[in-house]
Structure 1
Amino acid sequence: MGYGELTDGSNASGQFVALLTMLGLWEGSFALGRVSADGTHGTFVDVPAGGMANGLRFDQQGQLFVADVTGHNVLRLDPISKAISVFAHEPRMNQPNDLAITDADVLFASDPNWSEGTGQLWRIDPDGTVHLMETEMGTTNGIEVGPDGGTLYVGESAQRWIWQYDLSADGQLSNKRLLITFEDFGLDGMRCDEMGNLYVTRYGKGTVAIISPGGELLDEITIKGKNPTNIAFGGTDGRTCYVTVSDRGCIEAFRAPHAGRSWAMMHTDRDRDNR
């Protein structure tokens, strides 16, 4: 069983609870899995027939959004009822891959074409309206919004570039510039901490790179597996990084100096004061 994408989360007692895409025991079968703080796990809900789940994000109301690679959809899942519906459909998408979300619940989706080494970038508004933000990019993959709400990061895996955009309150992008580039290996999922540092999984290298908002490589955490695919912050204080590792079929963890941006968004001031 292999693990793919991961989303930040914790239950009412502050324990880490992850929802992740999970390759089933037979080829082509995908589901969303659930992993609890004690490591127990299982299928949470099956993806609709013909779909293939990838990037995951929670909104401010606790609804889960799922990038559906093969259906050219962004799905919406109610974690309580487990009802799944199509939130947005766009046939021009190659394959919606990973998602980022603002504190106003505006989604951004990376959209790579792996065979051609190209990609696109989409915005999905809270009413499900889809906007093509940029085309003729590299293989867009990891994507994240900075904690100030005014910055969007997009990684291009094959090119090994990470781009930085100014993000306006109404979801417009401007001032595109290169944040950092790497000479080897790939890039996959990414998350920001609450200080604005970007944590990027380095597929093939077996590390998580920590990059400052100014583009400085601050540190590189070595994990046991070689193919980390995504990362999320969790735990009682939001400072435990959980990393999905495809070649090991597991989740690894390490401690970070700061809580994750998504974790901080999902918790009250009281929760954060008790860290």
Structure 2
Amino acid sequence: MPQPHCVWDIQAQLGEGPVWSTARQALYFVDIVGRAIHCLDPATGGHASWPTPLRPGFVVPVSDGTLLCGLKDGLYRFDPASGDFRREVAVEPGQPDNRINDGCVDAMGRLWFGTMDDGETTPTGALYSVTRTPGGLEVLRHDEGYIVTNGPGISPDGRLLYHNHSPAGVIYVFDLAPDGALSNRRVFARIADGYPDGVVVDSAGTLWVGVWNGGRIERFLPDGTRLPPVAVPARNVTKVAFGGADLRTLYITTARKGMSPEELARMPQAGGLFSMRVDVPGQAPTAFPAEELAVLGNMPRGL
């Protein structure tokens, strides 16, 4: 397998949440600690960055060309053209020590995201979705008791959802029903020598898991068989995304957070955005529906 190489030596404090925009043919990701959203245009090598008013956990494309961001206290619409943020719904306003972390959009257009204790000590985090139900659009709480949530990731057939409890080193898998209900949580895999961070599932159903404090990407077949890991020249590997016209370019976010000066001297590109070509493409990205974002903004209360 080819080795990852650095395509943007951005030195992010906590690079996270890479996501491919089909409409823009560009990659977005965030720096949580650096409070920024970044965008790379691989065709030109150009890039752009925008400051965020609060810590961002994730960013996903919306079908109207804007972005949906999970910031510390809620879900926000972000317009890259103007740089403006607008909070659409508050999340956990009664838990000011929590923040939103990782998120993704499934093939049905549902948003999945987790919350976590910002101090990484208390199991106050939960797993949510923004789901269309017979009663209208709802923000649903599916699971709880997490210190640090990561993932989620969805299988290609849409029947499984993977989600991490990172400090415990555990990757869970749930059965995912067509209506978005989750059931039958069980342990899918455990990570030693590091902690499971972001999870992405390719078109063949293989899990790609960034390993914090592990310097690698772990890979698991759908039956749980562990494949050889992919080494990355950064201690903290956070998440991957599949991009490019053929979805066979793997992008990898990393972080400098918590590294000593000696470690940074050995791994000077830590915090960079890395890339490599792979044989199996990722799943086609789905944008969050703009009409549902408008409904979300009219919800009368936070969670």
* 2:140 is aligned with 1:131: yes
Q: TM-score w.r.t. structure 1 length?
A: 0.82
Residue ranges of structure 1 left out of the alignment (5+ in a row): 267-275
CA separation in 1, counterparts of 2:94 and 2:113? 13
TM-superposed CA distance for 1:182, in Å, is 1.8
Aligned counterpart, 2:39: 34
Aligned length: 254
SS of equivalent residue, structure 1 residue 96: strand
Aligned counterpart, 1:116: 122
CA separation in 2, counterparts of 1:187 and 1:60? 30
TM-superposed CA distance for 1:92, in Å, is 4.5
SS of equivalent residue, structure 2 residue 179: coil
- Written as runs of structure 1 = structure 2, the 5 A alignment for 1:1-275 is 1-2=11-12, 4-10=15-21, 17-22=26-31, 30-37=35-42, 38-43=44-49, 45-47=50-52, 49=53, 51-59=54-62, 62-69=65-72, 72-79=73-80, 83-90=84-91, 91-92=93-94, 94-113=98-117, 114-117=120-123, 119-125=125-131, 129-247=138-256, 248-263=270-285, 265=286
**Identity in percent:** 26
Listed one character per residue, the Cα deviations across residues 121-165 of structure 1 (whole Å, up to 9, x for unaligned) are: 112236763222112235322211222112111011110100001
CA separation in 1, counterparts of 2:254 and 2:206? 21
Q: Is the 8 A contact 2:247 2:284 kept in 1?
A: no
Give the letter for the 2:41 counterpart.
Answer: S
CA separation in 2, counterparts of 1:242 and 1:80? 24
Q: Is the 8 A contact 2:154 2:162 kept in 1?
A: yes
TM-superposed CA distance for 1:11, in Å, is 6.0
Q: Is the 8 A contact 1:201 1:208 kept in 2?
A: yes
RMSD: 2.5
Q: Is the 8 A contact 2:19 2:29 kept in 1?
A: no
Q: TM-score w.r.t. structure 2 length?
A: 0.75
Q: Is the 8 A contact 1:230 1:244 kept in 2?
A: yes
CA separation in 2, counterparts of 1:75 and 1:128? 16
Question: Residues 75 and 182 from structure 1, CA distance in 2 versus in 1: closer, same or farther, beyond 3 angstroms?
Answer: same
Q: Is the 8 A contact 2:17 2:102 kept in 1?
A: no
135-144 or 229-238: bigger deviation: 135-144
CA separation in 2, counterparts of 1:202 and 1:219? 13
Listed one character per residue, the Cα deviations across residues 90-135 of structure 1 (whole Å, up to 9, x for unaligned) are: 2246211011222222111111221225531112236763222112
